[in-house]
Amino acid sequence: MTASDTLAVQAEGVRKSYGRFEALRGIDLEVARGQVTCLIGPSGSGKSTFLRCINHLEKVTAGRLSVEGELVGYRQHGGKLYELRDKEVCAKRAKIGMVFQRFNLFPHMTALENVALGPIRVKHESKSAAEERARKLLDRVGLADKLAGYPSQLSGGQQQRIAIARALAMEPSLMLFDEPTSALDPELVGDVLDVMRSLAEDGMTMIVVTHEMGFAREVADSLIFMDEGVVVESGQPREMLANPKNERTRSFLAKVL
């Protein structure tokens, strides 16, 4: 088994530009299967952009990005990269769950219908099979009593837990979280983090953009500090939070801890 066989995500010199603005300036990063990696850093540092590149919601400008050993959004032939068709991209994206700051639930659908929709539409599962899994997942995130609830009837924390269940319904090998608690009232954050902690304990590979330093310290296997589109420092979370080596990391942590 080679090193790449154990990697869930591998980024090599990843760059992303919007016109003249370079949001990512050569990201090299590896995430092993079953590992929880937290990305921290100031707003505008490129964390969310990098997350969106992983599932090809954003196309990289340069470099290579692989998930489970396969290039994201491209195939290689004769030393050149060719972009995949939308249908092929969607098939690969189905294996990557993503949870956003905003919950993006369908307002006209119940919790059960929101969670079951992906497997029915994308994986062509029967309605009964998809709804059975949706019930189990909603129970897992502590919402077995909200199956018939509509998003407008639920708190932000409940909606975010439904969004996590919806991502899990596609049976992903990798979960991406883009500041999943930043839009929540403080008293609702704990329930969402508990669900994420449970996923980590079950061995789910996760990349989490977060400002929740306690979660990063307790749950993450690795911590990465980004600023101005580059990885400034990375390491073991407890050590890095207690003794950051880079001055930019020290300055950032002094403001948020």
Q: Which residues contact 60 (CB under 8 A, 6 or more apart)?
A: 14, 15, 16, 24, 53, 72, 73
CA distances in angstroms from 112 to 8, 211, 213, listed in the order given:
30, 30, 32
Residue 5 scores a pLDDT above 70: no
Residue with the bigger pLDDT between 157 and 93: it is: 157
Distant-in-sequence, close-in-space partners of 31: CB < 8 Å, separation ≥ 6? 7, 8, 9, 10, 37, 205, 207, 222
Q: In this prediction, what percent of the chain has a pLDDT beyond 90?
A: 76
H-type alpha helices, 124-220: 127-140, 156-168, 186-201, 213-219
| pTM of the predicted protein model | 0.93
CB 237 within 8 A of CB 222: yes
**Bridge-partner residues for 97, per DSSP?**
175
The answer to whether 63 touches 14, Cβ cutoff 8 Å, is yes
Is the confidence at residue 4, as pLDDT, over 60?
Answer: no
Q: What mean pLDDT, rounded, does the chain reach? A: 92
Q: Contact at 8 Å (CB) between 169 and 134?
A: yes
Question: For the ranges 76-85, 91-100, 141-150, which has the lowest average pLDDT?
Answer: 76-85
